[in-house]
Amino acid sequence: MHLAALHTPSQIQLNKEGNLKHFLTIEGLSKETLTKILDTAASFFNDQNQLITNNLLEGRTVMNLFFENSTRTRTTFEAAAKRLSANVLNIDIARSSTSKGETLRDTLWNLEAMAADIFVVRHSSSGAAHFIAKDVCPHVAIINAGDGRHAHPTQAMLDMLTIRRETKKDYKDISIAIIGDIKHSRVARSDMAALQTLGCKDIRVVAPNTLLPYGFDDYGPEVRLFNNMEDGIKDCDVIITLRIQNERIDSPALSSQAEFYKMYGLNKERLALAKPDCIVMHPGPMNRGVEIDSSIADGPQSVILHQVTNGIAVRMAVLALAMQGQLQEKGLIEAIAV
């Protein structure tokens, strides 16, 4: 993997007209591009607030390449692509020809030659989707469905869409707290990048020092660290609680679930410190009673299931936009039409 490339704000995901042709990472994308994604996603809801279906990918072939298993994320992409009328193929990429001594590059070229238009890529290595887009299949629209600890950009965009649709406020006027295991969360990293690009001025990271990433100081002046939960969520508009992964428990970073809940679990008393209309988000799957109390998860301020629905809309948007960006680059369409 070309790790060096990950830290340059890459223009690889844009075509010459500046439109998306891959969707790899939030970093380096402009406010206009992120807003285009959000506008497109929002347009996929009808007046009854139901997700529509349409023909934007009719006749197109979407292949899901999940090198790392994630039933849930794969399902969301499959549902999204089918709502756009695409043909969807789930490729058993782990069992595919790499096991016969073929190189990964040859396997991917073969899949591209089967007339694939879009690859949805999930991989445990940071930069995998980036590498495929840059060095293997630049003419296939590559959608990053999560790569190592690096990025989970559709999750970030569904969080942004949820904030926009639920708070109905501008990002610049929002105070947001992100609570928990920032260190191991690709969601947190992508969320912070998106929030900064969209103009958010008050991003609070609430975590013990052991769950903060190295180099945390580099995140910019909008981002502040709070070790104390109560201070962190005071007067917030949005709270994002992160999943504590079981494998972190009993490590030097985290003594026990009960200890985490005592220090950072979101409950009624703590939520009362935020603004009265503060919304509560969680990327799922939840550990009830660890990072969040059930009364909050199921309560009136929770928008956790709305995030899931918004996730379908956002995935529809990036699939449709990246496809159009590829067609535009190939001269097959003149302008982006969604």
Residues that bind its own copies (CB under 8 A): 48, 50-53, 58-59, 61, 69, 71-72, 75-76, 78-79, 82-83, 87, 89, 91-92, 95-97, 100-103, 106-107, 109-116, 246, 284-288, 305-309, 311-312, 332
Amino acid at 36: K
Q: Residue 235 has which token pair?
A: 């007067």
- The residue (of 116 and 174) whose beta carbon lies closer to its own copies is 116
Cβ within 8 Å of residue 62, ≥6 positions away: 77, 81, 86, 87, 88, 89, 116, 117, 118, 119, 120, 319
Residue among 165 and 204 whose Cβ is closer to its own copies: 165
| Minimum distance, C-beta of residue 270 to its own copies, in the bound complex (Å) | 21
Are 235 and 244 in contact by the 8 Å Cβ rule? The answer is no
Residues written for the chain = 338
| CB of residue 172 to its own copies, shortest distance in Å | 29
Neighbours of 47 (CB within 10 A): 5
Nearest distance from residue 214's CB to its own copies, in Å? 26
CA pair distance 202, 212, nearest whole angstrom? 18
Which residue, 224 or 288, is less far from its own copies as judged by CB?
288
Cβ closer to its own copies: 27 or 117?
Answer: 117
**Measured CA distances, 247 to 96, 177, 255, 257 (Å):** 29, 24, 11, 11
C-beta closer to its own copies: residue 217 or 247: 247
- Taking the C-alpha atoms of residue 154 and residue 163, their distance in angstroms, rounded to an integer, is 14
Least Å from the CB of residue 101 to its own copies: 6
Phi and psi at 145, nearest 5°, equal -100, 25
Least CB distance to its own copies at residue 294 (A): 9
Contact 72, 307 (CB under 8 A): no
By the 8 A CB rule, do 231 and 204 touch? no
Sign of the CA dihedral 85, 66, 118, 97?
negative
The smaller minimum CB distance to its own copies, of residues 59 and 221, is found at 59
Minimum CB separation of residue 139 from its own copies in Å reads: 12
Alpha carbons 70 and 159: distance in angstroms, whole number: 19
State the minimum distance, in angstroms, from the CB of residue 256 to its own copies. Answer: 15
- Between 12 and 249, CB nearer to its own copies: 249
